[in-house]
Each structure stands twice: as C-alpha cells, then as structure tokens.
Amino acid sequence: MTARCDKSPPLPRETRLYLAEEFIAAYCRNDLARLSSLLTEDFRFDGPLFHSSSRAEYIASLEADPPDPRSRYRLLHSFEEDDDAVCLAYRFHKPGRSILIAERCRFRGDKISEVTLVFDGEAFDREG
C-alpha cells in the first residue's frame, strides 16, 4: 500500500464509485459545469483519442467537440483498485456505435485527479 502524503483519510469506496459514475453521466449529458466540479484543477486525462493535462484543457475540448446528447452508458462492473482509485467497465452507446470501455479514476481528496480510458479506438471508428 502507498503511503498518503496529505494524511487525509480516503473517500469511502461507495463515494468514489458514485463520483466516477457521475463523471461518465455528466459527460453523456454534456454537463460541463458538473464535470468541472468533479475534477481537480490539474486533472489529467489519458485516452486513445485524446490527452489533456488540466481541467481547463479537458473542458475546452468538450466545448469544441461536445458528446452526442443521445450518448448513454450501461455500467457492467466496478471495483476498487486501492485507497485512491476505482475502475469501471461499461458499455458506451451513441447513435450507430457501441463499445466496451474500461476507465480508471484516481482521486485526490473529494475530486477526480486523473482518468485513464481504454478502448479500441479503431473499432469505435469502424462501427460508425
């Protein structure tokens, strides 16, 4: 187990899972205010089609290229990785496309500090 430098207790597992799922839900409904409220200022996003190194950069990318408002997801599985991270597996749907995604959310305090998203981007493009 990694030692915590900030000495604050970790969020309860249920809270982290709720916030991680809320991240996906806010993305699907393009609720940028809610997304922003979930993220640390130095939030990092790493996915097959996009990378960002700040909350501002991530939100700006969604303003420039918003998700389809008909996007949906179905949570398949969730688990705790350690005291600061949870992982989700879900089926993401948008018109004409559906793909299996794995997502890891790392927390700092009560905010998401990092998201790593894994899916086959080429398959996603082929399905549309």
Domain of 32, in residue numbers? 13-127
3: in domain: no
| pLDDT of res. 9 | 67
Q: Is the dihedral of CA 102, 116, 74, 110 positive or negative?
A: positive
Number of structural domains (the chain) is: 1
pLDDT, tens only, 79-121: 988 878 999 999 999 888 899 999 999 999 999 999 999 998 7
29: in domain: yes
Q: How confident is the model at residue 1 (pLDDT cuts 50, 70, 90)?
A: very low
Checking phi first, is residue 83 left (phi over 0); if not, alpha (psi -120 to 50) or beta? alpha
Rounded to an integer, the average pLDDT of 15-40 is 95
Cα-to-chain-centroid distance, residue 100? 14
5: in domain: no
Rounded to an integer, the average pLDDT of 55-60 is 98
Q: 41-54 burial, b for 16+ CB within 10 Å, e for fewer?
A: eebbbeeeeeebee
Q: 38: domain CATH number?
A: 3.10.450.50
113: in domain: yes
